[in-house]
């Protein structure tokens, strides 16, 4: 008998009397909340894998993520913060 365990895990538990915790949904909710926390401030130096080094000029907080307006060599791009890393000085 074939069971689709992934499909079952992704479905929410509708019976509230079941004491089983819905861990899949809890993990997804926690990840979404983590992505919504602003990790940068205006003027921070950041690094993007494709565009290189830039400076944060504007921050837009949205559901599911934080969009940053960053100036890369004279060009402003709107990028989600999860694609960035802080520029480290040595």
pLDDT of residue 90: 37
CA-to-CA distance for 83 and 85, rounded, in angstroms?
Answer: 7
For residue 11, give the DSSP letter: S
pLDDT of residue 75: 93
With 60 as the cut, is the pLDDT of residue 87 above it?
A: no
With 50 as the cut, is the pLDDT of residue 89 above it?
A: no
CA-to-CA distance for 48 and 9, rounded, in angstroms?
Answer: 34
pLDDT digits (tens, 9 = 90+) for 8-64: 777 766 666 665 566 777 787 777 777 778 888 999 898 888 888 899 999 998 877
Name the pTM for this structure: 0.58
Indicate the CATH number for domain 38-90. Answer: 2.30.30.390
């Amino acid at each position: 008998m074939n069971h689709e365990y992934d499909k079952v895990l992704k479905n929410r538990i509708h019976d509230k009397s079941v004491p089983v915790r819905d861990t899949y949904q809890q993990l997804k909710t926690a990840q979404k909340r983590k992505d919504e926390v602003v990790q940068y401030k205006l003027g921070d130096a950041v690094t993007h894998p494709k565009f290189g080094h830039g400076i944060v000029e504007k921050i837009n907080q949205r559901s599911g993520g934080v969009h940053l307006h960053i100036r890369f060599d004279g060009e402003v791009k709107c990028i989600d913060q999860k694609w960035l890393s802080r520029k480290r000085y040595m």
